[in-house]
Structure 1
């Protein structure tokens, strides 16, 4: 070690050279691996999910129409023909099909099994929308913005819960 550096320990205060190095590292992170734009929504989702004591998280049944991005954190439905996305959880299956309904808007047709009545909440950065299924488990939501992240919160009616269905099922977020 050079004698002029012997007095510098690992606990010395930062100097201008250290600050320049940290600045370059910060710029590299912002350029090459920026934070996801929807990070706040993802964190809020996790916090809200933890508040739901009996929630089950469904998993995506992948199809060739889904395009994973950013380490599988986002799932994007492909362009072209409408692609169905299926979510599975222990005893509940949810299938949704997005369809263009107007300029830059989508209609989301959905089916939940087993048959019965469910309350469906669609969460997106623009807020929540709610729908109820018919007795066969079918629902539709219209006027949804194209290209936004969304997730579904499914609440079976009391009769279905008595049959053993969880009180709340939450899907992962997907981008349409």
Structure 2
């Protein structure tokens, strides 16, 4: 009876496996910094701070930051069921950007000003960015890896 009440009124989150996998992958990164959501613009919280959704299909920027790196992304509608993710990373420089989703990973590189774009981003899935600055930026104090919280765009 109690078990049935728990399943009905407090079910296990559907994305529990994704959250656990995020934590395990993060522990595998030795010098990773976890960025936090510092500004969610017009985003609407769905369940806690880790899940965000674009309200009414309008583009809204999300800003993540840690001690030394700031990442801003703006999702825009693209192909049916997909998004284009325009991003900017500061300080300026070359970064490798990895987008993780349940469908797999895709990569992009920034230009020298820290701008990047990813096409065909799945809409409505949990997504996570992994940012790796070039060696020159690491020598001036940037961490080797910055990981954003998983968000739903």
Q: TM-score range by the shorter chain?
A: over 0.9
Please state if 1:142 is matched with 2:114: no
Deviation string, structure 1 residues 58-88 (Cα, Å, up to 9, x no partner): 0101335122222334222322320000001
Q: Which residue of 2 aligns with 1:121?
A: 98
Aligned-partner Cα distance in 2 for 1:70–1:81: 20
Unaligned runs of 5+ in 1: 1-23
Please state if 1:71 is matched with 2:48: yes
Q: Any conservation in 2 of the 1:75–1:173 contact (CA below 8 Å)?
A: no
Deviation at 1:40, TM superposition (A): 0.7
Deviation string, structure 1 residues 128-175 (Cα, Å, up to 9, x no partner): 111111111111110111111101000000000001000000001111
Please state if 1:47 is matched with 2:14: no
Larger Rg: 1
Q: Tell me the SS of whatever aligns to 1:152.
A: strand
- Give the number of aligned pairs: 153
RMSD over aligned CA atoms reads 1.2
Q: Which residue of 1 aligns with 2:37?
A: 60
Aligned-partner Cα distance in 2 for 1:171–1:138: 17
Deviation at 1:115, TM superposition (A): 0.5
Comparing both chains, which one has the higher relative contact order based on Cα–Cα distances under 8 Å and sequence gaps of 6 or more? 2
Unaligned runs of 5+ in 2: none
| TM-score (normalised: structure 1) | 0.83
Runs of 4+ in 1 over 3 A off after TM superposition: none
Please state if 1:31 is matched with 2:8: yes
Q: Which residue of 2 aligns with 1:175?
A: 152
| Distance verdict in 2 for CA 1:98–1:64, change over 3 Å | closer
Q: Tell me the SS of whatever aligns to 2:138.
A: helix
Please state if 1:163 is matched with 2:105: no
Q: Any conservation in 1 of the 2:41–2:61 contact (CA below 8 Å)?
A: no
